[in-house]
Amino acid sequence: MDARVKETRSDPAAPAASTDAAAGLAPRTDGAAERVTPMMAQFIEIKTANPGSLLFYRMGDFYELFFEDAEIASRALGIVLTKRGKHLGEDIPMCGVPVERAEEYLNKLIACGHRVSVCEQTENPAEAKKRGPKSVVRRDVVRLVTPGTLTEDALLDARRDNALAAVARVRGSEGEDGYLYALAWADISTGGFRVAETDAVRLAADLARIEPAELLLADAVYEEPLLRPIWRTLPAVTPLPKESFDGASAERRLAGFFQVATVDAFGSFTRAELAAAAAIVAYIERTQLGARPPLGRPQRESAADAMVIDPATRTNLEILRTTTGERTGTLCAAVDRTVTAAGARLLARRLAEPLTDPVRIAARLDGVEHLVEESGLRTGLRERLAGVPDLARALSRVALARSGPRDLAAIGRGLSEGGAIAELIGASPAPAELANAARALVGVDPALALTLGAALADELPLNRRDGGFTRAGYSAELDATRAMRDESRRVVAALERRYAEETGVKSLKIRHNAVLGYFVEVSQQNADKLREPPFDAIFVHRQTMAGAMRFTSTELAELEAKIASAGERALALEQGIFDTLAAAVLVEADAIRACAEALAVIDVAAGFARLAVDEGHVRPEVDGGLDFSITGGRHPVVEQALRRDGGPFVANDCELSPPDNARSGRIWLVTGPNMAGKSTFLRQNALIAILAQAGAFVPARAARIGVVDRLFSRVGAADDLARGRSTFMVEMVETAAILNQATERSLVILDEIGRGTATFDGLSIAWASLENLHEVNRCRGLFATHFHELTALSQRLTRLVNATVKVKEWEGDVIFLHEVVPGAADRSYGIQVAKLAGLPPAVVARARAVLTELENADRAAPTQRILDDLPLFAALNRAPAADAAPAAKADPAAQAVKTALEGIDPDEMTPREALEALYRLKAAARG
């Protein structure tokens, strides 16, 4: 492909390059210029002006792609690559997709990470012919399709947001790396627009919460080595020139987009927040080519508003997606009882960002409790909500001039249902959240829904260009024009019958096509009759086919003109009606968007209420304390799966509240065999915290939870080979993040820390980590382990509680009871589990023998010595006081051990020499 049409940068709005392509000339090696066809010259000019994307070039009923675009698209779409003419002496690759199926192909290209410029014909071919027989129909790009700017239902997941996000970085003193960071994200398909401060440490967690379909970054930020690992986890990242994040012009760009004099009325924003928000609106203006989606004004979020959940924790807990990327099997799927697309999206947002304000949490719980108690209201609301279309996304398409009659009808139907729902809620006193939502439902002018209902027919076409969507009786002028059009068609049928009778050709037909218009068609055998007197004076030959001949007549031509005129006039009148209705909708855009949000709130509350009734969930007590007390807690996903298989779920208590006179919560050290249910127990308590702070009832008999500010979960094993990280390295990175960030208000879930390395290495890491959580982080936590030596720490870590999962042995086999009780496991039953897994009997027998020998070594003695002699982890971090007394004289035995150790080189020792050295050290320690 010629260098002039290659993708040169990722900015889809980059200015056109100054090349000969704009003039339709292609450079040659001999210095001359090769003329290209006018059509190809136009393509090259448009492509050069829109680099960084595949160009869908409209030609009749197809979007065609040429050169490298065609090669890329043919591979991605699995369509045939053909050729059209030559350029620079070589064949021009070409492929195309039908306009009617364009959304299907766009979806595939976007999913593959491509961006697409849609180039449409902007004039009729007849107008082009007026400029000359070789004139090319004018075309121009009408839209740039990117992952974060989709609005069509066919390209979107109805149950997920489609966020376009931007990260801005400005120099400042607050950031740990000398920068201030901010995030802005908007969904142009629904109108939501939010901004928030962040930092380099929290950025990954914030992006995992938002899950942007596309992220905008300044080039320098994109190339930042410390941040590159974050960008690699995202589906689509678009680097932009630094001017896109210019803080000096940010306020002006935002004010211009929202058509206000100043953004002060929107609230107080930092420089970084303004830069991120301005980058969002500038990108939207570029990709939508001036069309303005109905974005709400940017709402500022505080960093303390939502529970922080890092990416690893989201993956481990499978909140919105399983580890394989599916929705089935997630927390969201298990608790979703919504009946609208908007409700499903709001539910996902609430689970992704649970609140940390007890007052706001209580307001949500009040609404759910009201609908749990009022079963008739709950049922009535859900029946009404089931008929509510996706108002927000229909409104966005109207604003962007991409809507059809069905979008207008959806808005009218949604507003009508919203009014009925408001009446249901207002029939009796309702909690604040439901009452506020009901008021938003009646904030739209009621005349709009009536007008839309009166104007639109019951059966609607998909596209406005097809016409036929206006209800009969709405417009007298349109009705009269339609009557003329329809009467003319009946005249055609009558004319056909008359011609057949007069000529005696019973098979004579009057047909129509786009090239000839209306024509008379007869078989070759009957054609001579129309070419002989007296019919030769009436019929004029137009076209000879293999088995037929076509004629026209003056009368038929005049009738065609009348029909065309009436049909075009009727279609034009309908287009005008559509534009008038769309304009009326946009006048109420803000109120319609508020109505859509209110319907989603009601749907989520009603869905949570239905879930509580169906699954036996209870209202949690959520406050500002440090309690975490769960009675009879259950795992919402596992419980439902077991029920489908006919098995019971064993409920368990969890008490992490601070002990008497303590100012920090407990840590439970959970031991027990694999397959006994430790991981399920750990996860279920984390999920209960998420549900409670999202505003849902929880799967338990009772729950009292002090707000969790950060949730950490390190459960399961996984590697990251793409970044050169082994399973153990990933485990250590995630553990390090927990130990560096957890606070006393956090909830930490840790499973099998240290298992990925040598036994004593792992035990040492787990030991030190547990001490750090208890003494430094002082958080509430669940720590599952197979290192039974750690249970001895409860002797001196006052808030550490040993718990174990009960099992029974029967004739050499183990029976899992899945019941968590106080105490410690004496062994892991790993061999019994291995036997259940199907290991060969010889392997199982040999493992039992080896285990017996190892257990005879009695590893308890070293553990007790560590407890007796080593200071606590926290003591190791404390500097000695200035007036501390001089150290006592060194113990002779300790000095002898130190001397012996200095003479040992472990790397040069054989196993036997190492064992002998260990005995010498033991003797030296005894003095």
Count of C-beta atoms within a 10 Å radius of residue 500: 17
**Could you give the CA distance from residue 754 to residue 765 in angstroms, rounded to a whole number?**
6
pTM: 0.82
- Please check whether the domain covering 157-303 is classified as CATH 3.30.428.10: no
> Among the CATH numbers 1.10.1420.10, 3.30.1330.200, 3.30.70.100, 3.40.50.300, which is that of 337-462+588-614?
1.10.1420.10
- Please check whether the domain covering 618-875 is classified as CATH 3.40.120.10: no
Identical fold, 3-145 and 618-875: no
Note whether 499 and 510 are within 8 A (CB): yes
Binding site listing: 672-679
pLDDT digits (tens, 9 = 90+) for 533-572: 999 899 999 999 888 999 999 989 888 888 878 888 999 9
**Could you give the CA distance from residue 578 to residue 584 in angstroms, rounded to a whole number?**
10
The domain locations on the chain are 3-145, 157-303, 337-462+588-614, 476-576, 618-875, 890-927
**Helix (H) / strand (E) containing 737:** helix 727-741
pLDDT of residue 889: 47
pLDDT of residue 924: 67
pLDDT digits (tens, 9 = 90+) for 30-61: 444 456 788 888 999 999 988 889 999 999 88
Which CATH number applies to 476-576?
1.10.1420.10
The CATH homologous superfamily to which domain 3-145 belongs is DNA repair protein MutS, domain I (3.40.1170.10)
pLDDT of residue 5: 33
Using CB atoms within 10 Å of the CB of residue 99, give its burial: 0 to 12 exposed, 13 to 18 middle, 19+ buried: middle
pLDDT of residue 12: 40
Q: Three-state SS for 353? A: coil
CB under 8 Å to 89, separation ≥6 — which residues? none
pLDDT of residue 759: 73
CB under 8 Å to 366, separation ≥6 — which residues? 431, 432, 433
Note whether 345 and 162 are within 8 A (CB): no
325 Rama sector, left if φ>0, alpha if ψ -120 to 50, beta otherwise: left
Residues in the chain: 927
pLDDT of residue 926: 63
Phi, psi of 805 (to 5 degrees): -95, 120
Sites in the chain below the pLDDT cut of 70: 1-35, 173-177, 716-726, 758, 811-812, 827, 854-898, 907-908, 911-912, 915, 919, 923-927
Binding site listing for ATP: 672-679
Give the number of C-alpha atoms closer than 13 A to the C-alpha of residue 250, restricted to the C-beta side: 22
